[in-house]
Amino acid sequence: MYQYTRKGLSEQFDIGKETLRYYEKINLLPIPARNESGYRVYSEEDVSRIKFILQMKNYGFSLREIADLIEMVRSEKRADKDMLIDNIDNKITEVENQIREFYELIELLNRLKEKKNLGECDFFKSIIKDT
């Protein structure tokens, strides 16, 4: 089994060594074993977890949300599995709302292109949605 060093993972994923230490501190990563020299060494499972964390962050999940997902997946309790499904459903709704907002932004930007010759005040008035 190949073992990874903090420096190696830091370079591989383009994240700081302190980031890995922080992930350990907040229990996103388990405390790694140490080699004969006392350096922390990470397993393939740790690498998979780091990939998961970074991918979820790229999708807009907070570290708290990622930690909750990891905890619910690790749990054997039925209630936690039900909570996992509820969290996933909530995230789906949140993403669908964001998609709607992005479509609204596209419409707004297209209107901006059409209004490029207006004065500042008229420009702003033509763009601002009535709420």
CA–CA distance, 95 with 65 (Å, rounded to integer) = 14
Q: Which of 92, 94, 25 is nearest to 63 (CA)?
A: 25
Helix ranges (H only) for the chain are: 6-13, 17-25, 44-58, 63-74, 78-114, 120-127
Residue range 76-124, pLDDT digits in tens: 788 778 888 998 999 999 999 999 999 998 988 887 787 766 666 676 6
Instruction: Classify domain 1-74 at the CATH topology level.
Output: Multidrug-efflux Transporter Regulator; Chain: A; Domain 2 (1.10.1660)
Greater confidence (79 vs 5) lies with: 5
Domain-by-domain residue ranges, the chain? Answer: 1-74, 77-130
Mean pLDDT value across residues 51-69: 93
pTM, full prediction = 0.73
